[in-house]
Structure 1
Amino acid sequence: MKCFATIIFVLAVLFATAQGRGDSVGTIKPTRQTGVHDPVMIKEGSTYYLFCTGFGISVFSSTDLQNWKKEKPVFATAPQWAVDAVPGYRGHTWAPDISYYNGKYYLYYSVSTFGKNGSCIGVAVNKTLNPSSPDFKWEDLGKVIQSFPGKDQWNAIDPNLIVDEKNVPWLSFGSFWSGLKLVKLNSDLKTLAQPEQVVSIAARTKGSGTDSSGGNAIEAPFIFKKGEYYYLFASWDYCCRGEKSNYKVVVGRSKQVTGPYLDKNSVTMTSNGGTLVLEGDAKEWFGAGHNAVYHVDDKDYIVYHGYDALDKGRSKLLINELAWDKEGWPTLKK
């Protein structure tokens, strides 16, 4: 992660390009031409909504999963608490996560700067995602959790909410450092349950994985419940490098939300374990990752971004239907 600090300017340009900041609100593009980073998807009524990394949190909508309309961002201006909490943050907000719970939509988001773990996760709520509804209004509830350089060996970004079989809410998060974490929330979904306990659910050590550049490069946890298992998806190696990106998605599973999560070879994800789900091929996509999984209309979709090998490594939206093999492991449906 330290190497990121040396290329802050390059990454900032890549992120700005990925979000298609030149596209005005109302612009419609096909899926594989929609510039996004770290997408998550949900459906309300007949409309799908994407929330992505971007200034104020980027938003797109679609009725067919094929053509995506750019909507206004969630925040017109950066939340003041976040500006005060994280030096250098000016509104470019990362890796949101969207869920519907007890009559409201909960949008978690990451506040950080490149290469540092002085970070926060915040949450905002809305009664509806339809911007034409009189009930549409984002209410920011502020900070949920924060990490501090020199104190914490984890990074409070890349949130994902999972509610277990006992209706207990948990928030997974993490990027680089000591890996991916899980913490229990109170029923208000905005405060940490006490006593606070941060559980490790996945990690990598230097030299592990399928690429020597991986180091401890792991981030973007997403927990999805199917059948008797919780599936932990994570992204290995590096995003945000355009044609040099080597992002990939791996998975492990557990019958308990707190783990341990094991891959197909029964290796724990806290010990470099992870079964490959998808990666770039250098022909269409250089790297692909930071996924979400969404069940709707009796189908499971995996939503992620890839670095387009036919367009100078620009980050684009990818959506695939998931299939499950006879042993219950996820694969991309052919």
Structure 2
Amino acid sequence: MTVRRTLTAVAAAALVALLPHTAQAAQSYPDPRPLTGQEIIHDPTVLRLKSGGYVAYSTGGVIGARLSEDGRHWDDAGNAFAEPPAWWYEYNDTGDPWAPDLSYRDGRYWLYYAVSSWGTNHSAIGVATSATGLPGTWTDHGKVFSSETTDTWNAIDPAVVRADGRLWMSFGSYWSGIRMVELDPATGKAVEDARVHHLATRPDEPYAVEGPEIVKHGRYYYLFASHDACCSGVNSTYKIKVGRSASVTGPYVDSTGKPLLDGGGDLLLQGHGRYLGTGGQSVFRDRGRDWLAYHYYDARDEGTPKLGLNVLTWTKDGWPAVGR
């Protein structure tokens, strides 16, 4: 920072242009798109509906819902479900779901979510479907995949991606990091005796990487993940990192070639200004553009978690960058 203060604006811009894309991004994080209405959210998943307008689902409530006509003004729309399905209570006393993932395929909307308790990997991922994607229209189909305290992974934070005619779900939080299993496209659930692939981790306990999202761009699959700690308001240290692979099951590496299984990952977005602890991310496509959705903790509002939306652009060498 001392060097930057001594440079003129022109010289600083020239220096940034010469830096590799990871360092350049670190020096120029854009603020999120200005939003109005109900901005409070955690772990958002966003999609433009076939009927028009946008829906966002999130951790909180019985999968909290927000609706928007234009992607800028958001209204509280209650919850995905009127009440928790009975089986959720096997995993926590309150039937509290976490970190949903919304997608559309085969004429239906699919909503994946996790149920667990803080600090344990006695966890499960479930799935529901809807013809419209709107809150109050979901039919729950039960467990997709689960983990127990004897496992070395944690079945939370699901994200679904299609690759080469097959359906895959990445997931994971702490424990040994990010994992992946294949799903049966007909049921949306894990195939029988599913192999658990290992995609990303950190070299030291508590292996603080979670919330995967995988996106296909060009010939690569890109794995976005949240590193470090969420859920502590202005003290949150969440940040978003990314790596890529020619195969959906990995191995994923960053722009320096460091494997994500060895703690690699290019820094895409971290806290800056009032926008602290950026993470819990998802990516959606709208009218030919990719968008990054995430939550941040608002330093001007006592660390309240709020919705962040930024355009996701792509560099000439095929790496994502955050715009506005």
Q: Is the deviation greater in 198-207 or in 106-115?
A: 198-207
Any runs of at least 4 consecutive aligned residues in structure 1 with deviations exceeding 4 A, and if so which? none
1:82 Cα offset (Å): 1.6
Partner residue, 2:261: 270
| 1:139-158 equivalence runs, <5 A | 139-149=139-149, 151-158=150-157
2:102 is the alignment partner of 1:103: no
Partner residue, 2:127: 123
What TM-score comes out, normalization by structure 2 length? Answer: 0.86
Tell me, yes or no, if the aligned pair for 1:229 and 1:253 is still in contact at 8 Å.
Answer: yes
**Alpha-carbon distance in 2 for matches of 1:191, 1:240:** 29
**Alpha-carbon distance in 1 for matches of 2:286, 2:220:** 18
- Unaligned 5+ segments in structure 1 are 1-28, 208-214
SS at match of 2:154: coil
1:189 Cα offset (Å): 4.0
Partner residue, 1:228: 219
Partner residue, 1:325: 315
| 1:119-198 equivalence runs, <5 A | 119-130=123-134, 137-149=137-149, 151-164=150-163, 166-198=164-196
What fraction of aligned residue pairs are identical, expressed as a percent? 41
Partner residue, 2:296: 306
Max Rg structure: 2
Tell me, yes or no, if the aligned pair for 1:32 and 1:318 is still in contact at 8 Å.
Answer: no
SS at match of 1:72: strand
**Alpha-carbon distance in 2 for matches of 1:128, 1:320:** 25
Partner residue, 1:59: 65
What TM-score comes out, normalization by structure 1 length? Answer: 0.84
1:33 Cα offset (Å): 5.8
2:88 is the alignment partner of 1:82: yes
**Alpha-carbon distance in 1 for matches of 2:38, 2:83:** 27
Q: Deviations over 1:130-173 (max 9, x none)?
A: 46xxxx73110000111111x10111000000011x22000100
Tell me, yes or no, if the aligned pair for 1:235 and 1:248 is still in contact at 8 Å.
Answer: yes
Residue type of the partner of 2:83? Answer: T
For the aligned residues, what is the CA RMSD?
A: 1.6
Partner residue, 1:25: none
Partner residue, 2:95: 91
Q: Deviations over 1:39-98 (max 9, x none)?
A: 011111321110100121001111111100111211221111121x21x33122110001
**Alpha-carbon distance in 1 for matches of 2:246, 2:37:** 35
**Alpha-carbon distance in 1 for matches of 2:72, 2:243:** 30
SS at match of 1:46: coil
SS at match of 2:88: helix
**Alpha-carbon distance in 1 for matches of 2:45, 2:154:** 20
Tell me, yes or no, if the aligned pair for 1:99 and 1:107 is still in contact at 8 Å.
Answer: yes
SS at match of 1:270: helix
Residue type of the partner of 1:197? Answer: R
Aligned residues: 290
- Unaligned 5+ segments in structure 2 are 1-33
